[in-house]
């Protein structure tokens, strides 16, 4: 990498905030769960949106690719610098610029941690609804880049439903705002285009987001079942009934046991499946919805129901739900986390197929997911030091994805495509659709320097896209855990 670029970046940011030593760069070569590592040549750590723009301008001048990075909690490799170049770390953009209580908006920089925004909103009786499981660590910029969901997305929607306006640095180095704070805008929906674009169309630096009043009443129900079919049927019945819980989460027997052993949370050990169901709203409405919910649970042979009504009881249940990934570490040193969406009517069918895949490939697959919106998260456990386990885990994951697509599902619900699923894009999109997406990318980023080699499949020598997960994932080459 050119020392001239290092000098330029240090003149913009100061020497302390430009990293180029091997031991410094190692911290930026991976994300939370991707099985491929890629080290940047330089890490730049700007403090302001203007500095981000200057760093991008320097990269353009040098003809060097650049990739934005938040907290590194991404799960599809979207922030890995696949061509090296400059990694632009956005953690120092951490200001909550304004909380506009009358208009129920907050203006935030993208390095603000999701949970920190909610801590700041609590005294006002408000909250920011999107709450990924990594809420205590992930940043809002990453949430926006991946269009993150979370436990409460069934009622409140995913990230795109809460973003009003964005400040961003475009691939030409200019700093601009798109969208509108007053919830009205005209012309193409550019905010909708940028949310979920995985940092390939520019770098978001600030956002104006919707904030929501804390509901008057909240109750959480732990419902245990003796069969996965009863739990899955309950989910379908809840949706069909018109009841709209604020959360509807599924945990299978393996997950329940793992969480109990790791954290002693007291989940029912003999359950084959557990649903965590939250109702919120006006007190009278919650009581009315509770009667409807309990009737549905009884119809589907619920074996046990517990209620969390106090804030401490509710937090304990959700903490247990969000701790599942850590609990899996007692059984294997690594896991391949799938992220796909299916029609909710196909839930029981797909779970049966997932368990069949686990048996066929002789791997452990455990399930915890957002049942309310059909967002599956099968975790395939494996040991990265055993190449055959790596191969079987990756192949099992691909087969699950293909089964989900076959019933009308999608490749990703909230983790993004990144590099993990880029080679599978032709399974969901036609060549014509993919080319239109590429044309959009080329129009916005004609130099191809902004987060290259993401989302779209790489082309082989004969010009055809590969239809499989990256060979590195299947062979174990370049793996890290």
Question: For position 125, which CATH number holds?
Answer: 3.30.465.10
Question: What's the average model confidence in pLDDT over 243-269?
Answer: 92
Q: Is residue 464 part of a domain?
A: no
CATH (domain of 14): 3.30.43.10
Q: Is residue 443 part of a domain?
A: no
Q: Is residue 472 part of a domain?
A: no
Return the exposure string of 419-450: e unless at least 16 CB atoms fall within 10 Å of the residue's CB, then b: bbbbbbbbbbbeeeebeeeeeebeebbeeebb
CATH (domain of 400): 3.30.70.2740
Q: Give the largest CA-CA distance in the chain.
A: 70
Three-point CA angle 247, 251, 257, nearest 5°: 140
Question: What's the average model confidence in pLDDT over 436-446?
Answer: 97
Would you state the pLDDT for residue 411? 94
Q: Are residues 204 and 224 in the same domain?
A: no
Q: Are residues 8 and 112 in the same domain?
A: no
| Domain end call among 213, 238, 256 | 213
How far apart CA 50 and CA 200 sit, in angstroms, is 19
- Looking at residue 124, the DSSP 8-state letter turns out to be G
Positive or negative torsion for Cα 75, 411, 271, 365: negative
Question: What's the average model confidence in pLDDT over 152-162?
Answer: 95
Would you state the pLDDT for residue 265? 82
Q: Are residues 202 and 306 in the same domain?
A: no
| 477 has pLDDT over 60 | no
Q: Is residue 348 part of a domain?
A: yes
Contact by Cβ (8 Å): 250, 371: yes
Q: Are residues 269 and 193 in the same domain?
A: no
Question: What's the average model confidence in pLDDT over 260-266?
Answer: 87
Instruction: For residue range 91-109, list pLDDT tens digits in order.
Output: 999 999 999 999 999 999 9
Q: Are residues 290 and 390 in the same domain?
A: no
Question: What's the average model confidence in pLDDT over 443-449?
Answer: 98
Contact by Cβ (8 Å): 145, 198: yes
Residue 335 CA: distances (Å) to CA of 70, 384, 392: 22, 9, 12
| 112 has pLDDT over 70 | yes
Q: Is residue 145 part of a domain?
A: yes
Contact by Cβ (8 Å): 92, 68: no
Please name which of 32, 33, 36 lies closest in space to residue 472, comparing C-alpha atoms. Answer: 36
Cβ contacts of 113 within 8 Å, gap of 6 or more: 71, 94, 136, 137, 138, 139, 140
Would you state the pLDDT for residue 381? 96
The string of DSSP letters for 255-276 reads HHHHHHHHH-----TT-SEEEE
Three-point CA angle 421, 45, 133, nearest 5°: 45
Q: What is the pTM of this model?
A: 0.92
The string of DSSP letters for 350-396 reads HHHHHHHHHHHHT-EEEEEEBGGGTEE-EEEEE-TT-HHHHHHHHHH
| Domain end call among 266, 299, 326 | 326
Q: Is residue 448 part of a domain?
A: no
Q: Are residues 100 and 208 in the same domain?
A: yes
The string of DSSP letters for 325-354 reads HHHHTTT-SEEEE--EE--GGGHHHHHHHH
How far apart CA 364 and CA 68 sit, in angstroms, is 34
Q: pLDDT band at 475, cuts 50/70/90? A: very low
Would you state the pLDDT for residue 467? 35
Q: Are residues 131 and 150 in the same domain?
A: yes
Please name which of 353, 365, 360 lies closest in space to residue 402, comparing C-alpha atoms. Answer: 353
| 469 has pLDDT over 60 | no
Q: Are residues 208 and 226 in the same domain?
A: no
How far apart CA 211 and CA 162 sit, in angstroms, is 8
Q: Are residues 380 and 337 in the same domain?
A: yes
Domain that holds residue 21: 3-89
- Helix (DSSP H) and strand (DSSP E) numbers for the chain: 17, 20
* Torsion angle of the four alpha carbons 17, 23, 27, 33, in this order, in degrees rounded to the nearest 10: 160
Count of domains forming the chain: 4
Q: Is residue 414 part of a domain?
A: no
Contact by Cβ (8 Å): 434, 426: yes
| 470 has pLDDT over 60 | no
Question: What's the average model confidence in pLDDT over 151-156?
Answer: 94
Return the exposure string of 162-190: e unless at least 16 CB atoms fall within 10 Å of the residue's CB, then b: bbbbbbbbbbbbebeebbeeeeeeeeeeb
Q: Are residues 231 and 288 in the same domain?
A: yes
| 461 has pLDDT over 50 | no
- What percentage of the chain has pLDDT greater than the value 90? 83
H helices of 14-72, where? 22-25, 49-62
Q: Are residues 192 and 299 in the same domain?
A: no
Residue 246 CA: distances (Å) to CA of 31, 78, 152, 373: 30, 29, 5, 11
Mean pLDDT of the chain: 92
How far apart CA 35 and CA 121 sit, in angstroms, is 36
- Looking at residue 410, the DSSP 8-state letter turns out to be B
Strand ranges (DSSP E) for 226-300? 247-252, 273-281
| 468 has pLDDT over 70 | no
| 304 has pLDDT over 80 | yes
CATH (domain of 307): 3.30.70.2190
Q: Is residue 10 part of a domain?
A: yes
| Domain end call among 179, 213, 247 | 213
Please name which of 61, 40, 43, 46 lies closest in space to residue 12, comparing C-alpha atoms. Answer: 46
How far apart CA 146 and CA 159 sit, in angstroms, is 9
Q: Are residues 242 and 298 in the same domain?
A: yes
How far apart CA 291 and CA 303 sit, in angstroms, is 17
Q: pLDDT band at 320, cuts 50/70/90? A: confident
Question: How far, rounded to the nearest angstrom, does the alpha carbon of residue 270 sit from its chain's CA centroid?
Answer: 31
Three-point CA angle 150, 154, 155, nearest 5°: 110
């Amino acid at each position: 990498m050119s020392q001239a670029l290092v000098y330029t970046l240090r003149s913009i940011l100061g020497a302390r905030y430009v990293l180029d030593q091997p031991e410094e760069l190692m911290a930026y070569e991976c994300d939370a769960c991707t099985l491929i590592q890629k080290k940047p040549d330089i890490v730049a750590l700007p403090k302001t949106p203007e500095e981000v723009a200057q760093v991008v301008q320097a990269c353009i001048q040098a003809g060097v690719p650049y990739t934005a990075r938040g907290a590194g909690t991404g799960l599809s490799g979207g922030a890995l610098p696949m061509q090296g170049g400059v990694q632009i770390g956005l953690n120092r953009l951490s200001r909550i610029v304004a909380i506009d209580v009358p208009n129920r908006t907050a203006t935030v920089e993208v390095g603000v941690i999701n949970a920190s925004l909610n801590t700041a909103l609590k005294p006002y009786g408000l909250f920011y609804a999107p709450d990924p499981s990594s809420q205590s660590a992930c940043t809002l910029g990453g949430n926006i880049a991946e269009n993150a969901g979370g436990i409460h997305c069934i009622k409140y929607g995913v990230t795109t439903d809460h973003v009003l306006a964005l400040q961003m640095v475009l691939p030409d180095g200019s700093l601009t705002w798109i969208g509108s704070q007053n919830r009205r805008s005209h012309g193409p929906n550019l905010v909708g285009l940028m949310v979920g674009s995985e940092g390939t169309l520019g770098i978001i630096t600030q956002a104006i987001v919707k904030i929501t009043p804390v509901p008057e009443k909240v109750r959480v129900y732990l419902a245990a079942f003796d069969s996965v079919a009863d739990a899955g049927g309950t989910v379908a019945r809840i949706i069909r009934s018109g009841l709209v819980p604020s959360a509807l989460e599924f945990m299978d027997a393996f997950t329940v046991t793992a969480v109990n052993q790791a954290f002693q949370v007291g989940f029912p050990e003999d359950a084959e499946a557990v649903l965590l169901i939250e109702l919120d709203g006006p007190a009278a409405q919650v009581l009315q919805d509770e009667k409807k919910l309990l009737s549905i649970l009884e119809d589907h042979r619920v074996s046990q129901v517990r209620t969390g009504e106090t804030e401490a009881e509710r937090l304990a249940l959700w903490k247990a739900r969000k701790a599942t990934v850590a609990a899996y570490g007692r059984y294997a040193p690594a896991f391949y986390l799938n992220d796909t969406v299916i029609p909710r009517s196909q839930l029981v069918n797909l779970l049966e197929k997932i368990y069949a895949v686990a048996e066929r490939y002789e791997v452990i697959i455990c399930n915890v997911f957002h049942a309310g919106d059909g967002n599956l998260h099968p975790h395939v456990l494996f040991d990265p030091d055993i190449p055959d386990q790596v191969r079987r885990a990756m192949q099992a994951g691909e087969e699950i994805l293909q089964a989900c697509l076959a019933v009308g599902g999608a490749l990703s619900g909230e983790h993004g495509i990144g590099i993990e699923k880029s080679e599978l894009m032709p399974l969901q999109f036609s060549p014509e659709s993919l080319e239109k997406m590429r044309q959009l990318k080329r129009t916005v980023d004609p130099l191809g320097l902004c987060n290259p080699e993401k989302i779209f499949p790489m082309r082989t020598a004969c010009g055809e896209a590969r239809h499989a997960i990256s060979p590195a994932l299947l062979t174990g080459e370049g793996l890290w855990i």
